[in-house]
Amino acid sequence: MATLHFTKQHTLKMKVDVQPLVVVQANVQGWGYIEVQGWGYIEVQGWGYIEVQGWGYIEVQDWGYIEVQGWGYIEVHGWGYIEVQDWGYIEVQGWGYIEVQGWGYIEVQDWSYIEVQGWGYIEVQGWGYIQVQGWGYIEVQGWGYIEVQDWGYIEVQGWGYIEVQGWSYIEVQGWGYIEVQDWGYIEVQGWGYIEVQDWSYIEVQGWGYIEVQGWGYIEVQNWGYIEVQGWGYIEVQGWGYIEVQDWGYIEVQDWGYIEVQDWGYIEVQDWSYIEVQGWGYIEVQGWGYIEVQDWGYIEVQGWGYIEVHGWGYIEVQDWGYI
């Protein structure tokens, strides 16, 4: 197994094919690149790191993969990028992490994926972004997490997919942003959760879809919000739930849709609200329910509507109102 040590003054250009490689320190910049393919892999651990910047890039494809663990990390910034495609794979675990900032980005597509677990994490901030599309996939599980803040964002589109489960979470705060559109999909289940706060938001539109089930949940608070529009869709079922509190809000408009069923529920409280307008729609059925309390409220206007049927219900109490 080879070991690679580069100082920051070097520009790295290489291919990793079949032979394993352990990285101690590497800097990829100025159109330098690392290409990982054909069952080749890179392992970043024990305070080892890779910095990708200034149009440097890493391409992971054709069953190549990168493993980041044990305080190893990858930093992507200054127009550096990582492209994961054609069955490429990145695993982040055991306190390994990836930081994406300052116009750095990661693109995941074509049956490739990133798995974040076991206290591994990804931080997206300062105009860094991650794009998940074309059957690309991010799985966050087993105490893995993703943090999106300070104008960082994640875009999920074109059959891209994010799954959050097993006590893992995504935190969106401080002007962080997630956009789900064009058949992109986020699934939250099995005690996974998403927290949206501090002027951050999630936008679901153009056939984008979020499903919350099996004890997964979304918490919207402290001026965080979710906007559902243009045929975007949120489904809450099977003991999944959404909690809107402390000035959080959800807006449903322009043919956006929220469906609550099969013991899924939404709770609105503490000066938070849901606004339904302009052909926005909420449907509550099959033992789904919405609870409005403690100065929470729901406002329906301008062709917005709420439909309650088949054992669905809405409960309003303790200064809650519709």
Q: What is the rounded average pLDDT of the residues 207-216?
A: 96
Tell me, what's the pLDDT at 149?
96
Quote the number of domains for the chain: 2
Q: Do 196 and 97 have their domain in common?
A: no
Q: Rounded to an integer, what distance in angstroms lies between the CA atom of residue 285 and that of residue 185? A: 22
Name the amino acid, one letter, at 246: D
Tell me, what's the pLDDT at 179?
97
Q: What is the rounded average pLDDT of the residues 20-39?
A: 78
Cβ neighbors of 70 (< 8 A, separation 6 or more) are 45, 46, 94, 95, 96
Q: Do 141 and 242 have their domain in common?
A: no
Q: What is the DSSP string of 129-144?
A: EEEE-TT-EEEE-TT-
> Residue 11: pLDDT above 70?
no
Q: Rounded to an integer, what distance in angstroms lies between the CA atom of residue 322 and that of residue 133? A: 38
pTM of the model: 0.92
Tell me, what's the pLDDT at 286?
92
Q: What is the pLDDT of residues 55-79, one digit of tens each?
A: 889 999 999 899 999 999 999 999 9
Q: Domain for residue 36, yes or no?
A: yes
C-alpha angle 261-266-267 in degrees, rounded to nearest 5: 150
Tell me, what's the pLDDT at 2?
44
Q: Domain for residue 128, yes or no?
A: yes
Q: Domain for residue 280, yes or no?
A: yes
Q: Do 75 and 134 have their domain in common?
A: yes
Which among 145, 165, 198 is the end of a domain? 145
Output 97 or 37, whichever has higher pLDDT.
97
Q: What is the rounded average pLDDT of the residues 4-27?
A: 58
Q: Domain for residue 231, yes or no?
A: yes
Q: What is the pLDDT of residues 78-132, one digit of tens each?
A: 999 999 999 999 999 999 999 999 999 999 999 999 999 999 999 999 999 999 9
Q: Do 96 and 224 have their domain in common?
A: no
- pLDDT band, very low/low/confident/very high, at 3 (cuts 50, 70, 90): very low
Tell me, what's the pLDDT at 36?
86
Q: Do 141 and 226 have their domain in common?
A: no
Q: Do 193 and 141 have their domain in common?
A: no
Q: Domain for residue 180, yes or no?
A: no
* 117: containing domain: 1-145
In the DSSP assignment, the letter for residue 208 is -
Which among 145, 178, 198 is the end of a domain? 145
Q: Do 124 and 240 have their domain in common?
A: no
Q: Domain for residue 299, yes or no?
A: yes
Q: Do 204 and 131 have their domain in common?
A: no
Q: Do 140 and 195 have their domain in common?
A: no
Q: Do 224 and 115 have their domain in common?
A: no
Q: Domain for residue 97, yes or no?
A: yes
Q: What is the pLDDT of residues 136-193, one digit of tens each?
A: 999 999 999 999 999 999 999 999 999 999 999 999 999 999 999 999 999 999 999 9
User: Taking a C-beta distance cutoff of 8 angstroms, is the pair 224, 200 a contact?
Assistant: yes
Q: Domain for residue 54, yes or no?
A: yes
In the DSSP assignment, the letter for residue 157 is -
